[in-house]
Amino acid sequence: MDNLNAEDLRHDWSVAEIEALFALSFNDLIFRAQSVHRRRFNANEVQMSTLLSIKTGGCAEDCAYCPQAAQYQTGVEADKLMQVEKVVAAARAAREGGASRYCMGAAWRELKDRDVDAICDIVKGVKDLGLETCMTLGMLTEPQALHLAEAGLDYYNHNIDTSPEYYGEIITTRTMQDRFDTLQHVRSAGMKVCCGGIVGLGEGRRDRAGMLATLANMEEHPESVPINMLVQVEGTPLHGTERLDPLEFVRTIAVARIVMPASMVRLSAGRETMSDELQALAFLAGANSIFCGPKLLTTANPAQPRDEALFDRLGLKPMPVQAHHA
């Protein structure tokens, strides 16, 4: 492990090696992650992203964490795909609020061909605002991925959620290979990959290591790696799960930074319940993107004034658009 340097992008991590990183003393782990981070990024810049649900609820999947699954009674009502004009107006407001990246999610098992033209129009409208674009629409076919790429979509998000070994405990309606197939379509179409996972699902540390090994051993590292803390929603099977130690969450961020040194590591779901101190540690560990705005799809997110105050206290500034491509 000690031969890692700034220019090495390894794709041969063993789960045991990654477990050994998790087991380092906290100070040593954070120092190592921060050292890796500074070789690739400005340590005092954080990308501001906004996430909008453009089609909420009614999903046929059985993801045990998701309040948008039709089979769970969570109070989330199913609705139709938003109109292009409304999505673009929301994106414009996000840009005016400081966001440089706009992410859009639809609660679908897979994108239907009948919706491709409308989705492409949305991508074009948001791109015209000068924002970096990302979408998550479930599984894609190869032709659908090509259409999205031609429309100008920058990133496609499709998380693996957890380790291959624990995956079946979280979802049964889609295999991990299904996810890999979609990611391959995204790559082949020329888009960038946004792929991470969720911690706090009841998994063990070995599963967290297995998830990061799966990501880091892809032929190309995902350019974007969201690390989500489970937001427990009443009515989902994972409601009432023992909460993950916050310092273990920071360790996960740090290890992700070490094994995927050139990727954007995104501090994603769960921030609404995180203290300022915990978020500061996550930035120190190598997280360099957050989602701003009142909601992440259907769950709460810190209000913009709180984020601005935290950035001011920490001496952080929003990352300008395109800076992370350098």
Strands 132-136 and 155-157: parallel
Which residue among the candidates 40, 251, 266, 271 is catalytic per the annotation? Answer: 266
Identify how many contiguous H helices and E strands the chain contains and give both numbers: 10, 12
Contact 292, 98 (CB under 8 A): yes
Question: How many of the other CB atoms lie within 10 Å of CB of 278?
Answer: 17
266 is catalytic: yes
* Alpha-carbon span 42 to 35, nearest angstrom: 11
* Alpha-carbon span 22 to 38, nearest angstrom: 20
Contact 51, 219 (CB under 8 A): no
Q: Which spans in 114-219 are helix H?
A: 116-127, 142-151, 176-189, 205-216
Which residue among the candidates 32, 101, 103, 120 is catalytic per the annotation? Answer: 103
134 is catalytic: yes
Write the Ramachandran bin of 37: left for phi over 0, alpha for psi from -120 to 50, otherwise beta: alpha
SS3 state at 111: coil
Which residue among the candidates 194, 195, 208, 257 is catalytic per the annotation? Answer: 194
* Alpha-carbon span 195 to 190, nearest angstrom: 15
**Closest alpha carbon to 79 in 88, 71, 70:** 70
66 is catalytic: yes
* Alpha-carbon span 6 to 296, nearest angstrom: 33
**Closest alpha carbon to 54 in 243, 321, 297:** 297
Strands 264-267 and 224-229: parallel
Which residue among the candidates 66, 120, 195, 292 is catalytic per the annotation? Answer: 66
**Closest alpha carbon to 76 in 271, 232, 297:** 297
262: which DSSP letter?
T
**Closest alpha carbon to 64 in 283, 270, 241:** 241
Which residue among the candidates 59, 120, 195, 292 is catalytic per the annotation? Answer: 59
103 is catalytic: yes
292 is catalytic: no
Which residue among the candidates 134, 174, 257, 271 is catalytic per the annotation? Answer: 134
Catalytic residues: 59, 63, 66, 103, 134, 194, 266
